[in-house]
Amino acid sequence: YKGWPDEGPFDVIILTAAPNHIPEPLLEQLAIGGRLLLPIGDYPQRLLFIRRTEEGYQETELLPVVFVPMTGEALTDPPATKP
């Protein structure tokens, strides 16, 4: 959920558990041109594809999905202000 800030930026980040909002730390760790693929929300969840550009972030909703929910800090941290 917090990623690996000391090793970023990353070209690709994939989540296999669903947070209830887009994690800000993961957006910050994307390289320009980097992609983030994640399930998000409660049931029904949505699979999101986010690409970081020079201007910001582009978000595309791909399809409804069902993943295990993310727990712990993912439920209490504030939502990302981007994209």
Tell me, yes or no, whether 78 lies in a domain: no
pLDDT tens, residue by residue, 42-53: 888 999 999 999
50: closest CA among 35, 31, 63, 65? Answer: 35
Range of the domain at 43: 10-65
Tell me, yes or no, whether 4 lies in a domain: no
69, 47 in Cβ contact below 8 A?
no
Percent residues over pLDDT 90 in the chain: 67
Count of structural domains, the chain? 1
Tell me, yes or no, whether 48 lies in a domain: yes
pTM for the structure as a whole:
0.84
Tell me, yes or no, whether 19 lies in a domain: yes
